[in-house]
Structure 1
Amino acid sequence: MKVGLWFDLRNPPNWRQDPAQLYGFTLEMCEEAERLGADSVWFSEHHLFEDAYLPQPLTFAAAAAARTRRVRVGTGILVAPLRKTPQLAEEAAVVDIISGGRLDLGLGAGYRVPEFRLFDADIEARYRTLDAQVGELRRLWTEEGVTPGPVQPRLPVWLGYQGPKGARRAGRMGERLLTANAASWPHYREGLLEGGHHPADGRMAGGIEAFVTDDPERDWPLVAPHIAYQLDSYRRYMVEGTGKPTPRPVDPEKLRGRAPRGPLSSYIFDTPEEVARQVWEYVGDAPVETVWFWASVAGLPPEAVARHVETICTRLRPLLQADPAA
């Protein structure tokens, strides 16, 4: 299994950094991850967050691609329905060219009401829009479409669907599924068969909410407040604009003791060996080729981020590349 690092460039008010310094440091971490053997780096997207969450992942992916030579660069995810499809096709092609054919384009439908209002997009039609965009992207990347086209003959498109219906849609379209949850594999496999695709061609990848450390008890007091902020802000922004009440703050201690079940439902905080064991249990027999981990957690000090990147690459990655039975 391949291992990646995930960056969202959050800059929370309680731990505010100079934005230029944060962006420069993150690019340095991408270079360091490559040097230490990581297989990929991934960038996410949100808008109107108080912590200045990265709003344009392809722009940052282009910068990371220019600073690296081997690691794949991915979006995990980019909210496609907020954009015009030809613009997305051109921007992705440019990043693929800059990287020499290393782009993984992860797309999602989005869910935040304020973001769709900001871009004057239809949130009710977001799933239909995304499905249509995938087909349009494939058409635009042919000889009759946008120029220049991508370097990769078939640029990998990953669809960030978590539920059974989305997994089947990704399968029917013959695209890759951006989740590492084994529970999605039967539905994804059904979709592949329905779309006339061989299940052996199915590919899955996704994020694992985990922090890897040689000494969990030493590091927990430092990292726990950042984990709580990260998860609470996701939960708060998830209901913004919907009229639903704001969820109660999470208890990171309770999350820490749960096995992974899905987004925001748990948080692994343990040694490389224990994290690897739980990852193997989570992915099961699904065709998961890559898992990525949060390199930073909402304002974590740079020295802690650097140590975490090193631990993931040098301690956890070898365990996940070995035979899981071992």
Structure 2
Amino acid sequence: MDVGVYFDMRNPARWRRDPVELYGAFPELCEEAEHQGLDGVWVTEHHGFSDDYLPVPLTLLASAAARTQRVRLGTAVVVAPLHQAAELAEQAAVVDLLSGGRLDLGLGAGYRPPEFDLFGADLRARYQTNDDRARRIRELWAGREVTPSPAQSRVPIWMGYLGPMGARRAGRLGEFLLSADARNWEHYRAGLLEGGHDPSIARMGGGIQAWISDDPERDWPTIREHLAEQANSYRLHGRMGYSGLPPFKPVDPDVLRSRRPRGRTSTDYFVFGTAGEVAEFVRDFTAGAPVDTLYFWAALPGMSAERVAANVRAVATDLAPLLRKIEPSVAPVPTS
């Protein structure tokens, strides 16, 4: 099991840091992740968030590529329908070259109307467009229609779909699935077969909504505040552009902590506990599926650089050794 950390670079007003310092610390944190033995650094994309959510993941990864030697660098995700395929193919190739062939390109469909309006993209066609981007990027690289070519002969493309329909789409494309939920394996496998792909090529991975502590009850009051900031920011910005929604209700972090994934697309949960408790959750959540890549929050919004660095070390030294003992396993699934 490969284990990494995940950054979104949010900078909320309540704990606002100098943006130059915040971004300047990122390459150093990537170096620390590599020094501590982690396998991956993943970043993400949104636009127009009031807390300055990261808008350009591949640009940020270029800075990590120049400061690291081994750790893999992933997007989770680039919102592909907001960008042209040629643009993504070129940017990804440059990051892959800068890193010596360490890029994992995660593509997602997006969901926020203001972002699609900003880029003049079609929200209604986002799933088909996302699939088309993956196909076209492969074509552009294979035919050298864009240059330079990536360092890797086949850059891993991960389709950022969390539910069964998306898992099937990823399978039909013959790409990897950026979901660590074992419940999606049956649908992903079915899509691989529909697309004429050997299911043995399957790979699944993704983010786990979790945080570790050697003393959860001592640390919960602090984590609770930052988790509330994160969850409420997602909820507020996710509502923008939609009409007829019920009044906004702030998230209760204690309720979030008590939940485990419910629906097949749910990220509305949070596992907070010791490294052993989080590892046990991961074992159950991924059991029976070809999950070999995981990443965890490096930071929750507003955390200091020192706290983030301490968390990166904790993930590397306390959690990762437990997760690496988990062998990806594939349970039998129905063939019809």
- Could you tell me how far apart the structure 1 residues matched to 2:254 and 2:144 are? 55
The Cα shift of 1:164 comes to: 1.1
- Could you tell me how far apart the structure 2 residues matched to 1:139 and 1:321 are? 35
Q: Which residue of 2 aligns with 1:223?
A: 223
Aligned AA (1:125): A
The Cα shift of 1:259 comes to: 2.2
289 and 324 in structure 1: CA distance in 2 versus 1, 3 angstrom threshold: closer
Of 186-195 and 258-267, the range deviating more from structure 2 = 258-267
Contact 1:74–1:104 at 8 Å: present in 2 too? yes
Aligned AA (1:20): V
Contact 1:260–1:268 at 8 Å: present in 2 too? no
- Could you tell me how far apart the structure 1 residues matched to 2:56 and 2:5 are? 17
Aligned with 2:321 (options 308, 318, 324): 318
Counterpart mapping for 1:81-230 below 5 A: 81-230=81-230
The Cα shift of 1:246 comes to: 4.8
Q: TM-score, normalised by structure 1?
A: 0.97
- Could you tell me how far apart the structure 1 residues matched to 2:90 and 2:47 are? 21
Of 32-41 and 217-226, the range deviating more from structure 2 = 217-226
The Cα shift of 1:143 comes to: 3.8
The Cα shift of 1:233 comes to: 1.1
Counterpart mapping for 1:259-298 below 5 A: 259-261=260-262, 262-298=265-301
Contact 2:158–2:177 at 8 Å: present in 1 too? yes
The Cα shift of 1:278 comes to: 0.3
Aligned AA (2:110): G
For the aligned residue pairs, the C-alpha RMSD in angstroms reads 1.3
Aligned AA (1:185): W
Give a deviation string over 1:229-265, Cα, whole Å, max 9, x none: 1011111111211112354111111111222345431
- Indicate the SS of the match to 1:299: coil
Give a deviation string over 1:46-102, Cα, whole Å, max 9, x none: 000000000000000111111100000000000011011111110000000000000
Contact 1:7–1:296 at 8 Å: present in 2 too? yes
Contact 1:235–1:246 at 8 Å: present in 2 too? no
Give a deviation string over 1:141-170, Cα, whole Å, max 9, x none: 014321111111111000001111111010
- Gapped regions of structure 2 (runs ≥ 5): 329-336
- Could you tell me how far apart the structure 2 residues matched to 1:184 and 1:246 are? 32
Q: TM-score, normalised by structure 2?
A: 0.94
Aligned residues between the structures: 325
Of 226-235 and 68-77, the range deviating more from structure 2 = 226-235
324 and 256 in structure 1: CA distance in 2 versus 1, 3 angstrom threshold: farther
- Gapped regions of structure 1 (runs ≥ 5): none
Q: Which residue of 2 aligns with 1:253?
A: 254
- Could you tell me how far apart the structure 2 residues matched to 1:323 and 1:10 are? 32
The runs of at least 4 consecutive aligned structure 1 residues that moved more than 6 Å come to: none
Q: Which residue of 1 aligns with 2:237?
A: 237
- Indicate the SS of the match to 1:106: strand
